[in-house]
Amino acid sequence: MIITVTLNPALDQIMFVNKLERNQNNKLLETVYDIGGKATHVSVVLSKVGIENIATGILAGHSGQKVQQLMEQKGVPCDFVWQEGAETRITYILVQREEKGSYMLTNRGFPIAAATIQALKDKLSTLTHEGDIVVFAGGIPINVDESVYQDLLQIVKAKQGKLVVDATGPFLREGIKARPYLIKPNEHEFKELIQKNPQTDGEYVSEIKKLLADGVEIVALSLGKSGSIIGTKQGFIRLYPPKIQEVNDVGCGDVFLGGALSMLSQGKSIEESFRFATAISASKATHEGSSEFDLEQTKQLMDEVKIESLKEEN
Ligand code: TA6
């Protein structure tokens, strides 16, 4: 079983214009809603691929109900903790049809009540069984500190669960302290973590080796449109994504993580798992929604993913 934990889910409001004009009345061409918050995306991929999973975390209000409704429409079993008197945050994403890339404005979300955190701890303890993969991904609520985060991680470790952590700054460091199965930092998060600025793949490999020595089993370093570097004690590979017509890049990193876990959880090799992850992430980029992709398109893109083995620079 794979359990995804989204402490701070979001309802993504994705708006499309031709080209944003300053000081103008920019008429929206279209607005679509999708799920947001990162670990939620992982669950969408797992469900679409047919991997048993449960999505939990903290939801609230009408926007939280809309998120759960969208998750259920995408075939995701949900078991969230609900907080009264609050509203799940809305993320505003602007996509210009005539330009590449998107603008994303993320709200911080509501403060989590002590009772809500306790309810989540109880739920996590109930849901997690030995050998389960438990994915913590996405932003952290404004009043959740590193010690609360570590308490949640340790509930999983106590149950012999396998931790996956996709977090930033001090929370990524907390994740590494818990000796996780997998971490997925992006380039910015990685450089902030190591407090260095690697310039070559070989330098990245040297830094990743230190994290493996600290007890991380798989380091999946996302380099965005340039691809990724995957490091394990068995070696290092560099993956290059296929060329695609980008529509909306929001959610690609989360779909990448979901794609990798959907394969790893079936015992597929590192190379096969991250080939699939790279292809499904590329498919997501060609879709408007932040959790949309096409499995047929993914299969066609698999052969266009380039993979090289990497060595540490001496
Ligand atoms: O990675 C995509 C996404 O999850 C969007 O769906 C949007 O909700 C945003 O990121 C949330 O990011 P945050 O770091 O605030 O959790």
Low-confidence stretches of the chain (pLDDT beneath 50): none
Average pLDDT of the chain, as a whole number: 96
In this prediction, residue 69 carries a pLDDT of 98
**Is residue 38 within 6 Å of ligand 1 at its C-beta?**
yes
**Is residue 232 within 6 Å of ligand 1 at its C-beta?**
no
Only one residue has tokens 């199965």, namely: 181
Alpha carbons 214 and 208: distance in angstroms, whole number = 10
In a mutational test of the pocket of ligand 1, which residue from 59, 189, 250 has the highest number of ligand atoms less than 8 Å from its CB? 250
Please tell me what DSSP assigns to residue 112: P
Residue nearest to atom 9 of ligand 1 (CA): 37
In this prediction, residue 102 carries a pLDDT of 86
**pTM, full prediction:** 0.96
Q: What is the pLDDT of residues 139-191, one digit of tens each?
A: 999 999 999 999 999 999 999 999 999 999 999 999 999 999 999 999 999 99
Alpha carbons 134 and 56: distance in angstroms, whole number = 10
Phi-psi group of 287: left, alpha or beta (phi > 0 → left; psi -120 to 50 → alpha; rest → beta): beta
Amino acid identity, position 233 = K
> Could you tell me the distance, in angstroms and rounded to a whole number, from the CA of residue 137 to the centre of ligand 1?
9
Tell me how crowded residue 20 is: count the other CB atoms within 10 A of its CB. Answer: 13
Alpha carbons 223 and 238: distance in angstroms, whole number = 10
**Is residue 4 within 6 Å of ligand 1 at its C-beta?**
no
Nearest C-alpha neighbor of 310 from the set 228, 242, 243: 228
Please tell me what DSSP assigns to residue 15: E
> Could you tell me the distance, in angstroms and rounded to a whole number, from the CA of residue 37 to the centre of ligand 1?
4
Q: How distant, in Å, are the alpha carbons of 16, 57, 177, 284 from that of 259?
A: 27, 20, 25, 11
